[in-house]
């Protein structure tokens, strides 16, 4: 069995944002030489997410609105976590909702997606360098 590891680095200039990382994951699968297997993609920070959905701006706006209703950033004092000097409790909660990782099948050397599926890095406490891990395993 083959195994391949690659890191993607991000510095989202805003507090929140979504980055389509599908091309980078496809490139990692090609680099791995795996024809049949699995790829895991996970955020390596507890205020970021990796998820699969449609690459449609209206949907991304809906995510922004929905997540801010679920876990509003302000008032900062509403969260016990923020009493430690942090101001990102909402980002931890948003990550929990959106998920840490995705696993996608690799068939014939390609990501085996359903219609419209794309892989995204979701940032909920940006303006600093963070990373995601790509791990490819298979034959």
- Paired sense of beta strands 37-43 and 130-138, if any: antiparallel
Q: Could you tell me the residue ranges of all domains in the chain?
A: 2-138
- The token pair at 91 is 């980002």
> Closest by alpha carbon to 80, among 126, 95, 88?
88
CATH assignment of 2-138? 2.60.120.460
**CA 111 to centroid of chain Cα atoms:** 16
- The token pair at 139 is 């034959």
- The token pair at 108 is 């014939």
pLDDT digits (tens, 9 = 90+) for 10-52: 999 999 999 999 999 999 999 999 999 999 999 999 999 999 9
Please, are residues 135 and 34 in contact by the beta-carbon 8 Å criterion?
A: no
> Closest by alpha carbon to 27, among 109, 131, 104?
109
pLDDT at 10: 96
pLDDT digits (tens, 9 = 90+) for 68-79: 999 999 999 999
Model pTM score: 0.96
pLDDT bin (cut points 50, 70, 90) of residue 3 is very high
pLDDT digits (tens, 9 = 90+) for 80-135: 999 999 999 999 999 999 999 999 999 999 999 999 999 999 999 999 999 999 99
**SS3 category, 28:** helix
């Amino acid at each position: 069995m083959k195994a391949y590891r690659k890191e993607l680095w991000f510095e989202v200039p805003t507090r929140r944002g979504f980055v389509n990382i599908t091309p980078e994951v496809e490139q990692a699968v090609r680099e791995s030489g795996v024809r049949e297997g699995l790829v895991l993609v996970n955020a390596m920070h507890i205020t970021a997410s990796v998820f699969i959905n449609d690459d449609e701006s209206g949907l991304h706006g809906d995510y922004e609105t929905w997540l801010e209703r679920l876990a509003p950033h302000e008032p900062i004092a509403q969260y016990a976590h923020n009493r430690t000097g942090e101001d990102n409790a909402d980002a931890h909660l948003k990550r929990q909702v959106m998920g840490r990782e995705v696993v996608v099948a690799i068939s014939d050397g390609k990501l085996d997606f359903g219609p419209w599926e794309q892989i995204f890095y979701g940032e909920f406490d940006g303006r600093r360098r963070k990373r995601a891990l790509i791990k490819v395993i298979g034959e």
